[in-house]
Structure 1
Amino acid sequence: MITKSVLQAADVAKIIAAADKEAAANNWAVTIAVVDDGGHLLGLVRRDGAPPISAHIAPAKAHTAALGRRESKIYEDIINQGRYSFLSAPTIEGMLEGGVPIMVDGQCVGAVGVSGVKSPEDAQIARAGIAALG
């Protein structure tokens, strides 16, 4: 049996604050979602002006990154390279860039998903949030 870190409420608040700061610095209206390692929502902020649909897309991206233990962009790339059958993968909806797993000591403890601007910018915001954990 191994011991594994878990995200606590203070960690989620720190991630969201740092991601929100990155979004604000660039004047980006986005939704930021943080999930645990099972893809369950722990925190969500929809910034002023963020499209309503982003409140659905951001958690889906985070869910995909957490369950896959990899960035959601990988799945987008697989599909864009012609493997369309991957769209039928069960319980995975956020197969767009912008979901980034949170890795601690080689273990996934959760993920951040962002939606509302260009996908590379969404990922930039997610990484900024994760970086706040140190």
Structure 2
Amino acid sequence: MGITLEQAQAAVNAAKEKAQELDLKMNIALVDPGANLTAFARMDGAWLGSIDIAVKKARTARFFDMPTGDLGQASQPGGSLYNIEHSNGGLITFPGGIPIKDGNGEIIGAIGVSGSTVENDHTVAEAGMNAVK
């Protein structure tokens, strides 16, 4: 089973709270196991350009079932996945996208966050992911 709307909204709310705690304006996207958008929030004043990035981070995390930052490490010049970001209609290979698992360890969706540094994006995404566990 995939992430429910209730779980996705809980993740959005937790991510939004973490962003507010850090005084950040973020775009937060949740996708289901098929990488379809399930929930989205754009905090007031968040960058318009980060909407697409947040969605692509969530989709990338689900497509490859790993945090986007991990995929980014493998896609550096000379790496085995160099240029992978050009596949699948465009991927994001820097931190801020994380798969979400259920209590049995099955991936039920993913979260993507964009609007600050990649370190902050990842921190806010983790808060959202942890709200679903």
**TM-score, normalized by length of structure 2?**
0.90
Aligned length: 130
Match for residue 113 of structure 1? 112
Does the CA-based 8 Å contact 2:68-2:94 persist in structure 1? yes
| 1:106-129 Cα shifts (integer Å, max 9, x gaps) | 211100000011111111111101
Match for residue 95 of structure 1? 93
1:124 equivalent to 2:129? Answer no
| 1:56-81 Cα shifts (integer Å, max 9, x gaps) | 00000000001111111122112235
| 1:2-54 Cα shifts (integer Å, max 9, x gaps) | xxx32111111111000000000011111000000111101111111211011
- Helix, strand or coil at the partner of 1:22: helix
Q: Which moved more, 1:64-73 or 1:83-92?
A: 83-92
AA paired with 1:64? T
Q: Which runs of 5+ in 2 are unaligned?
A: none
- Helix, strand or coil at the partner of 1:120: helix
AA paired with 2:100? I
Q: Report the identity percentage.
A: 29
Q: Which moved more, 1:18-27 or 1:68-77?
A: 68-77
- Distance of 2:101 and 2:3 partners within structure 1: 11
Match for residue 7 of structure 2? 11
- Helix, strand or coil at the partner of 1:80: coil
- Counterparts in 2 of 1:92 and 1:69: CA distance versus 1, 3 Å: farther
Q: Which runs of 5+ in 1 are unaligned?
A: none
- Distance of 1:100 and 1:21 partners within structure 2: 18
Q: Which moved more, 1:66-75 or 1:81-90?
A: 81-90
- Counterparts in 2 of 1:60 and 1:87: CA distance versus 1, 3 Å: closer
Match for residue 53 of structure 2? 57
| Runs of 4+, deviation exceeding 3 Å | 87-92
Match for residue 33 of structure 1? 29
